[in-house]
Structure 1
Amino acid sequence: MYIPVSVLNGCGDSFIAADEKRQKASTYFFTDIGLMTLVCRHDHVLWIVNLTSTGEKQHYALALLDQLFKHIPTQMTIGLLYNIACQLKQSCCKWKFMDDSILSCIAFAIAIFHAYDHQWPCQVIYHPRKQEGFDWSDGEGCE
C-alpha cells in the first residue's frame, strides 16, 4: 500500500524516538548512554551496540542489520519489529542506506506497543498483526 510522504513525515514528527535532536540522556558524565540490541524471534540477544550519542539515531539499527545480513542466506526474508520501522524504511528507500536486494528481504513492522501510540496511517500499515509472518511476535522482548 502506498503512503504519501506527507503522512510519513507527520508520523515521524509524532514519534519522540524519531526526533534525533531530542536528548533523553547526557553524554556529559558518560561515554555510553544506552544499548540497542538485535534479538531473534525468541528474544535472545544476537548483537548489541553501545549508544554513544543522544537521540535514537538510525545508524545504530542499520549497523545491527548490516551485521545480521552478513550471517544469513542472501535470499532469506526477515521480519523487523522496530519502534520506528516506518521511518527506518523511508530513510533506507530515500537515501539508499541498503541495497534493494537486501531491502526487499525485510518485512518492516512497528513493535506492538508503539503500533498503538498514534493514529497515523503508517501504524495501521506497519502493524504486525496485519502483516503476514509476524504471528504473535510483539517486538517488545528487550524493552
Structure 2
Amino acid sequence: MMIQIFNILKLTSLVLDACEESFIAAQDKVAKASAKHFADTGLMAMLCRHDRVLWVVNLTSPGEKQFYAYALIERLFAELPKDWHIGVLYDLAGQIQRSMIKWGFLPNLLPRMKFAVSVFHAFGHQWPCQLRGHPRKIEGYGLTDGEGCERYYCI
C-alpha cells in the first residue's frame, strides 16, 4: 500500500515527512490566536482562479487541519459539473494529496484534481517538493500563483 502511495506522489516518505514538519501552520501545538480567548483561531478561504472568494470557513482549533480543506473541496465539487477537473493550489498540497490517497478521503473526487503548491510557499518546501509541486512545472496552471488567499483580507 505505501509503495503505491509514493509511486503516485513520486516523492518518498522522508521528503513528505520533512515538509510536513517544517511548516508551522500545520502544527497543532502552534496557535496564532488563543482558543482560550477566541472562539475562532483563523480563517481558511477557497478562491477561484481569479482570486475571488468562493467560501470561507472559521478555524476553531490551532493548526490548519486537513478537514477544513476537504470540506471546501467537497463544497466546490458540489457546485461543478460532474466532468470538470480542477487544480488545487495549496500551501500543503502534497500533504492533502498524501492523506487522500493513504486514507481514502474523497476517493471519487481525487482523480478530478491536480495538486500544486502555491508559488511563494513552494520555496519553504524541500527541493523535491518544489520540483514536483511548483505550478510553473505542472501543465495547466499557466501563470497562476495560488497566493490569492495571502492577499485576501476582510473589509
TM-score, normalized by length of structure 1? Answer: 0.93
Alignment of 1:103-118 (within 5 A): 103-118=110-125
User: Which residue of 1 is the match for residue 139 of structure 2?
Assistant: 132
Equivalent residue in structure 1 for 2:87, among 79, 82, 92: 79
Deviation readout 1:68-101 (Å, 9 max, x if unpaired): 01110122110111000001100111111111x3
CA distance in structure 2 between the aligned counterparts of 1:119 and 1:33, rounded to whole angstroms = 28
Alignment of 1:15-94 (within 5 A): 15-94=23-102
Contact kept in structure 1, 2:44 and 2:58, CA below 8 Å? yes
Deviation readout 1:94-132 (Å, 9 max, x if unpaired): 111111x31011110001000112333122100000001
Q: May I ask how many residue pairs the two structures share in their alignment? A: 142
**Percent identity at matched positions?**
52
Contact kept in structure 2, 1:18 and 1:87, CA below 8 Å? no
What displacement does 1:11 show?
1.5
Gap regions ≥5 residues in structure 1: none
TM-score, normalized by length of structure 2? Answer: 0.86
RMSD value over aligned CA atoms? 1.3
Gap regions ≥5 residues in structure 2: 1-8, 151-155
Contact kept in structure 2, 1:74 and 1:102, CA below 8 Å? no
Cα distance change of structure 1 residues 117 and 109 upon mapping to structure 2, 3 Å threshold: same
SS of aligned partner of 1:113 = helix
Range with greater deviation from structure 2 (118-127 or 27-36): 118-127
What displacement does 1:29 show?
1.2
User: Which residue of 1 is the match for residue 153 of structure 2?
Assistant: none
Residue 7 of structure 1 aligns with an amino acid whose one-letter code is V
